[in-house]
Amino acid sequence: MTTFVLVHGAWHGAWCWNKLVPELEALGHRAVSFDLPGHGNDSTPRQTVTLDSYADRIVEVLDSLDEQVVLLGHSMGGMAITAAAELRPEKLKALGYLTAFLPRNGESLFAIEERNPRPSVPVNLVAAPDGKTAMVNPERVTDLFYHDCNAVDIAFATAHLTPQPLELLTMPVKITEVRFGSIPRIYIECTDDRAISIELQRDMIAASPCAEVISLPASHSPFFSLPRELAQALARLA
């Protein structure tokens, strides 16, 4: 049995894993999900949230578990698990990046996005009046995140999205080869992702080689569209 700690991406919450968790459990594994600060049901004021806040919340979860785990991050969650890995490398069997941002030392999410040959999400942000948070243009969010998902899942997801703190997306990670670099990395690329293009996914993998790379023919949200296939891929890696 492997314990998977699941870290959601921007705008999302622990709710996005509600189809993956039972699939992993059916395969004999344990799955732990939670809300990052300012997301889902977490009441942390969004204007106070930083990348360190995300990392500290993940560390709280890791420290509550007795075993080593696979730490899986989706999308922006890749930035969060990278920062957390630097703090607790001894708690991790592996880092899993699910169509996620895989930064090098000193890179922020927006810095990586500048290499995206098909930028989509940054150009579809709708900022709040105070400029502190943003949502994705509601006319584009389904196409960018959920285009291969069923209508029930799309309705559920779009009803639960929450504003994303913008400043956090400009915050760089600080990692070292001795700590973060000592942990095996796994990347699950989604070849039909319209939010993080497959070209950018492979650019990040080339810059930070991974021990294993698995491809899924999925959108940005395989936890909704292909939960069984995703669980099986994770189980093989475990």
Q: Which of 12, 33, 220, 225 is catalytic?
A: 220
Residue pair 64/93 in contact (Cβ under 8 Å)? The answer is no
Per annotation, catalytic residue among 193, 197, 208, 221: 193
Based on the residue annotation, tell me whether 74 is a catalytic residue of this protein. no
Which residues sit opposite 4 in a β-bridge?
31, 70
- For the chain, give the longest Cα–Cα distance: 47
CA-to-CA distance for 37 and 181, rounded, in angstroms? 26
Active site residue 63: no
The yes-or-no answer on residue 220 being catalytic is: yes
Ramachandran category for residue 190: left, alpha or beta (phi over 0 → left; psi -120 to 50 → alpha): beta
The Cα 174–Cα 71 span in angstroms is 18
Check: CB of residue 49 under 8 Å from CB of residue 40: no
Catalytic residue among 33, 75, 208, 219: 75
So which residues are the catalytic ones? 75, 193, 220
